[in-house]
């Protein structure tokens, strides 16, 4: 039988502990940096080390980091459920060298863990190496190439087949336009039934060839003048998708069976949630994948909804546990949108108002031993989601009626109508777009933005905000409000104001 997800996570940490790494707790999903909506990578909390602003107490670190990619530069929200390997909330396993070991150890240890401890079939593995394209910085990463070459040759595999090249877009990591940066190497797994793609599906958005691990070699400082100056201290920063590894191992029954499409949702991490959905909806999960995204069958849609709901409740629960509540701006609004998406999708399965909050204990029992803050805040999480869900439920039916009427009377949704749905009925724009798409009609998003801007201007005139700005948002910078746990009453009022 395959390893459980708990065993996989623990074996990662044990492996790096055996290589003298200190195991540290996950940082909060609330980032230190005002430029981030959510913590979105393991390295976020270690940036001060790379910048030389703070000294690391130990040069080797490993952990599992809670991440959310639902806004800003990394926004995977639209893929969630439609594919099986992008979540909003996920765990990123990582190991770091702060000015200590470099490419050789990082590559050899990654290979050792993947092939010897976890027993991934070597012939299905592909490593990508940085090769600059037109106008890209720095040089071909010969060092990484040579270390991978040695690894593949030792395994009796042809390096020319198993090493693929990527330019800046996929294989060069930069934090911003300036600062510490460097080439990266990624490990990809061929999960086609025959396993004979020879690397042709790497970075091709195929569910059958999945990127599992990114090894970043921080060796340059990008200057404002556009130079890439070698750093004195070189660092390693890696990130691996925990749910992807668990999903691959579970789907393939520890690499013995590649007949079914791989999916993160096949790992035991989602078992108890899916059992709950099956109980609530009467639908049994069929492990289907939409064949044509523009034409999703009813059965496929039910499976999509299972995946969306599982993803979204993990995201909401973990955010609230870290003090980020649904609200009307910035990261808080991202959460509100995610919650409302979940409620809408739940309705399509016939789930009753209040179902979403009831899922919280399932998440807490699944992840509470890894992230104790979930256990500690369980009541707050459930109350917050319940009040948010209730408030949305109160206007939802009227909103759906209005949407149906507009669709029947006018066909497409005008900017003003989309804004009314947003402003009066609490429909985030992406929700209206989702509903429109399912009807084969369009939404005038530009017109919507015009109406939004008018309202923002009014708001700005009405009161001066002292809130912090979120610059990494996909919307124009907006004020975000952190409401502490003792302000649930205020939060409920806020919901009513927003609507």
Chain residues binding Mg ion by CB under 5 A are 211, 214
- The least distance separating ligand ATP from the CB of residue 244, rounded to whole angstroms, comes to 5
Using CA atoms, how far apart are residues 188 and 211, in angstroms rounded to an integer?
4
Would you say 98 or 240 has its CB closer to ligand ATP?
240
The distance of closest approach from Cβ of residue 261 to ligand ATP in the complex, given in angstroms and rounded to an integer, is: 16
166: its two tokens? 């990527």
Q: Which residues bind ligand ATP (CB under 6 A)?
A: 69, 76, 86-87, 90, 92, 211-214, 239-241, 243-244
Start-to-end C-alpha separation, the chain = 51
The least distance separating ligand ATP from the CB of residue 264, rounded to whole angstroms, comes to 7
244 binds, among Mg ion, ligand ATP, none (CB under 5 to 8 A by kind): ligand ATP
Q: Whole-number minimum distance, CB 461 to ligand ATP, in Å?
A: 39
Which of the choices Mg ion, ligand ATP, none does residue 87 contact, using the CB cut-off of 5 to 8 A by kind? ligand ATP
Q: Which is nearer to ligand ATP, 185 or 219 (CB)?
A: 185
Distances (CA, A) of 223 to 48, 57, 168, 229, 233: 17, 27, 17, 7, 16
What is the rounded CA–CA span in Å between residue 232 and residue 52? 11
State both tokens at 316: 């909401």
Token duo for residue 458: 């009014």
Least distance from C-beta 69 to Mg ion, angstroms? 7
Which of the choices ligand ATP, Mg ion, none does residue 199 contact, using the CB cut-off of 5 to 8 A by kind? none
> Judging by beta carbons within 10 Å of its beta carbon (0-12, 13-18, 19+), is residue 453 exposed, middle or buried?
exposed
Toward ligand ATP, which CB reaches closer, 234 or 238? 238
Please say which residue, 211 or 237, places its beta carbon nearer to Mg ion: 211
Residue 264 or 417 with smaller CB distance to ligand ATP = 264
Q: If we measure between CA atoms, which residue out of 295, 339, 340, 296 comes closest to residue 319?
A: 339
CB 97 within 8 A of CB 110: no
> Residue 243's binding partner, choosing from ligand ATP, Mg ion, none, with beta-carbon cut-off 5 to 8 A by kind?
ligand ATP
Residue 212 touches which of ligand ATP, Mg ion, none (CB < 5 to 8 A by kind)? Answer: ligand ATP
Here the tokens at position 173 are: 């990591």
Q: Which is nearer to ligand ATP, 329 or 335 (CB)?
A: 335
CB burial class (10 A; 0-12, 13-18, 19+) of residue 7? middle
Please, are residues 241 and 188 in contact by the beta-carbon 8 Å criterion?
Answer: no
What is the smallest separation between the CB atom of 352 and ligand ATP, expressed in angstroms?
Answer: 29
Place of tokens 């009541």: 379
């Amino acid at each position: 039988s395959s390893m459980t997800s708990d065993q996989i996570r623990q074996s990662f940490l044990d492996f790096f502990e055996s290589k003298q790494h200190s195991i540290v707790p996950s940082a909060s999903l609330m980032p230190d940096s005002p430029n981030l909506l959510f913590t979105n990578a393991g390295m976020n909390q270690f940036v001060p080390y790379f910048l030389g602003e703070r000294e690391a107490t130990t040069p080797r670190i490993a952990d599992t980091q809670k991440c959310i990619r639902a806004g800003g530069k990394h926004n995977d929200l639209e893929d969630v459920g439609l594919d099986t390997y992008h979540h909003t909330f996920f765990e990123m396993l990582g190991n770091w060298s702060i000015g200590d070991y470099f490419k050789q150890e990082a590559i050899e240890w990654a290979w050792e863990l993947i092939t010897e401890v976890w027993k991934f079939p070597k012939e299905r593995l592909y490593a990508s190496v940085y090769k600059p394209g037109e106008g890209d910085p720095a040089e071909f990463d010969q060092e990484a190439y040579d270390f991978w070459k040695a690894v593949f040759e030792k395994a009796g595999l042809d390096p020319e087949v198993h090493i693929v090249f990527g330019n800046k877009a996929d294989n060069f990591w930069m934090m911003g336009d300036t600062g510490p940066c460097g080439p990266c190497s990624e490990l990809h797994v061929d999960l086609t039934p025959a396993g004979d793609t020879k690397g042709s599906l790497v970075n091709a958005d195929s569910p059958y060839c999945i990127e599992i691990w990114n090894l970043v070699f921080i060796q340059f400082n990008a200057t404002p003048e556009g130079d890439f100056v070698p750093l004195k201290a070189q660092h390693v920063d890696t990130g691996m998708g925990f749910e992807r590894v668990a999903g691959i191992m579970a789907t393939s029954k520890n690499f013995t069976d590649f007949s079914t499409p791989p999916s993160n949702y096949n790992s035991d991490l989602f078992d108890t949630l899916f059992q709950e959905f099956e109980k609530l909806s009467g639908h049994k999960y069929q492990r289907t994948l939409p064949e044509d995204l523009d034409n999703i069958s009813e059965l496929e849609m039910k499976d999509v909804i299972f995946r969306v709901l599982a993803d979204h409740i993990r995201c909401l629960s973990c955010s609230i546990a870290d003090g980020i509540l649904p609200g009307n701006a910035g990261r808080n609004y991202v959460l509100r949108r995610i919650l409302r998406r979940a409620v809408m999708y739940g309705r399509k399965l016939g789930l009753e108002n209040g179902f979403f909050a009831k899922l919280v204990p399932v998440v807490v029992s699944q992840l509470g031993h890894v992230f104790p803050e979930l256990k500690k805040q369980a009541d707050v999480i459930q109350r917050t989601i319940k009040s948010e869900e209730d408030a949305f439920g109160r206007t939802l039916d009227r909103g759906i009626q209005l949407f149906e009427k507009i669709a029947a009377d006018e066909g497409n949704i005008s900017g003003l109508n989309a804004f009314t749905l947003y402003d009066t009925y609490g429909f985030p724009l992406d929700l209206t777009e989702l509903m429109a798409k399912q009807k084969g009609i369009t939404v005038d998003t530009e017109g919507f933005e015009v109406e939004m801007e008018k309202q923002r201007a009014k708001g700005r005139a009405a009161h001066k905000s002292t809130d912090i700005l979120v610059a990494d948002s996909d919307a124009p910078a907006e004020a975000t409000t952190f409401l502490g746990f003792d302000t649930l009453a205020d939060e409920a009022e806020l919901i009513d104001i927003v609507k």
